[in-house]
Amino acid sequence: GDSVTQTEGPVTVSESESLIINCTYSATSIAYPNLFWYVRYPGEGLQLLLKVITAGQKGSSRGFEATYNKETTSFHLQKASVQESDSAVYYCALGETNSAGNKLTFGIGTRVLVRP
Amino acid sequence: DPKIIQKPKYLVAVTGSEKILICEQYLGHNAMYWYRQSAKKPLEFMFSYSYQKLMDNQTASSRFQPQSSKKNHLDLQITALKPDDSATYFCASSQDLGGSSQNTLYFGAGTRLSVL
């Protein structure tokens, strides 16, 4: 089946430092998966951070970036300079463009703690 | 204000009992879902509903029964609870049930269930 593997947390960084969360995927049942990063802030539900539906493209939002690399089956999330408000759990996920189920396969989530 | 309300936030149950997890969405969406995350495991898809009809069921056990009394409600009844059912249960919704490239999932904050 399909699966997503991401950096095991918690990841602790200091404010203004850079952050990278690794994500690799295996899409055995989907020819052209869509890739997503969701973020869950404390006390809230998951919300979409960014998505990329075409291999080779980059998505960006709130200073975060991720590039869809089909060769390495990766979708790493990066931010050059984090803020304390970036403390959250980050989930990598994949989905199928034309699925009637809109069903996503998620990773385990990576908790990020940003020290002031 | 949160647009997807899940109640309760925390729930403790004894083995063998029955509980209902409540979910209401105020986004005007036509599709609703349940996902579950157990400790140290990925978030996993359970059910999808469209216009109050079950579209996909990935849970192996009939102890999990979604109930949709209104289009914007999708409750989850769990019977004969087991300790392995301990997890955080997330309700989600999307405009429609189409592919993931067009239909963003919106999540509630989750219900954390502990079964003793």
- pLDDT by residue (tens digit) across A17-55? 999 999 999 998 888 899 999 999 999 999 999 999 999
| Site of tokens 């980050």 | A90
In the stretch 66-105 of chain A, residues with CB closer than 8 A to chain B read 91, 93, 95-105
Q: Which residues are B73's β-sheet partners?
A: B24
Cβ of B99 and A103 within 8 Å?
no
DSSP structural state of residue A74? B
pLDDT at residue A97, as a whole number:
74
Q: Which two tokens stand for residue A92?
A: 């990598």
Cβ of A102 and B31 within 8 Å?
yes
In the stretch 6-25 of chain B, residues with CB closer than 8 A to chain A read 6
Cβ of A104 and B100 within 8 Å?
yes
Mean pLDDT to the nearest integer, A70-86: 97
pLDDT at residue B1, as a whole number:
72
Chain A residues whose beta carbon lies within 8 Å of the beta carbon of residue B29: none
Q: Which two tokens stand for residue A102?
A: 């809109």
Judged by average pLDDT, the poorest of A37-41, B4-8, B51-55 is B51-55
pLDDT at residue A100, as a whole number:
62
Distance from C-alpha of B87 to C-alpha of B41, rounded to nearest angstrom? 10
